[in-house]
Amino acid sequence: MKKLDKKFIIFIVFMVAVLLVPFVVTNSYMLRVLCNVMIYSIIALSINLIVGYSGQLDFGRAAFVGLGSYCSAILFTTLHVPFILSFLAGGLFSALFGALLGMLCRYSSFDYLTLITIGFSEICRKVFQNWYAVTNGSFGFRTSRPEFFGFVLDTPASMYYFCLLILVICYIAIKRITKSKYGRAYMALRDDSIAASYAGIDVKKFKLNCFVIASFFTGIAGALMAHFTTFISPTVYTTDESLLELQMAILGGLGSLPGSILGAGILTIVPEVSRAAYEYRLLIMGVMMVILMLFAPKGLLGRGGVWDKVVSLIRKKGGKNENK
């Protein structure tokens, strides 16, 4: 009971601090960076659901971000559909393609799944780039900020709170999924799919189920990104972007939802801080990932990761001091 109370108090303090950020940080650029962190956190959470919990390697998340972005932007700007409907449609549209791709992937092995998702990502990018009648092609597509009953979220602070709200909802939803029977089935697939099938788990069904759910959240992040930046371009939804998003989940720790947010925060903020070396960001991130995989393959907050090792070391030292 004391542990629960302590965790609850820490959570409340953290949420209060997060809610007060726009009052403390008045710089609009910094608020935009924090909004980007929250958007990428949702993407990293969805990747963690696929890679960290069900053990499927996906290199094509940028395509699903793009599907959600274009769907929401086109419905809202071109067809004048109410924002909340177009926003949700972005997630559902991405989930639909997740279902179609998942139907192929559920019959594929780990290695072939990687190639399929890379191919799908490139197909989507080419469609975004060449379907001028719908996406405006290489010129990009301009949309507008979220609007609720005539009230437009056109200030950095209002967008910050909107991004925070969506992140909290997505985090709670994914957390509930991982704690449910679906989450336990995903982890069984990750650990040993053959043993899971003998235990009565429908491997193909749960693979597909996981892919669809993760694609929905990725599409929501894409829709949020489109209306935050108000401009979308095919150059954003590349394989490099997919790799960056995957790195966020791996850096934070696969199987750790708070780790996804931490990884997204690090890989979004570090390039902004080191603008002088921005063109070398992929090299820096590559070196960072190699070092991490060599010395901490479980990530920062994953089970058996850096945080667990630090806590274990502190406890050992504390125990030795008590014995003395």
Please tell me the distance from the alpha carbon of residue 120 to that of residue 123, in angstroms, as a whole number: 5
User: Quick one: pLDDT at residue 95?
Assistant: 96
> Of the candidates 294, 316, 268, which has an alpha carbon nearest to the alpha carbon of residue 163?
268
pTM: 0.91
Return the residue matching tokens 């491997």: 203
Q: Are 205 and 50 in contact (CB under 8 A)?
A: no
Q: Map out the domains of the chain as residue ranges.
A: 28-260, 283-324
**pLDDT per residue as tens digits for the range 15-32:** 888 889 888 888 898 999
User: Quick one: pLDDT at residue 176?
Assistant: 94
Q: Give the residue ranges of the chain where pLDDT is below 70.
A: 1-5, 106-111, 274-278, 281-282, 318-324
Q: Are 69 and 249 in contact (CB under 8 A)?
A: no
69 backbone dihedrals φ, ψ, rounded to 5°: -65, -55
Count CB neighbours of 111 within 10 A: 9
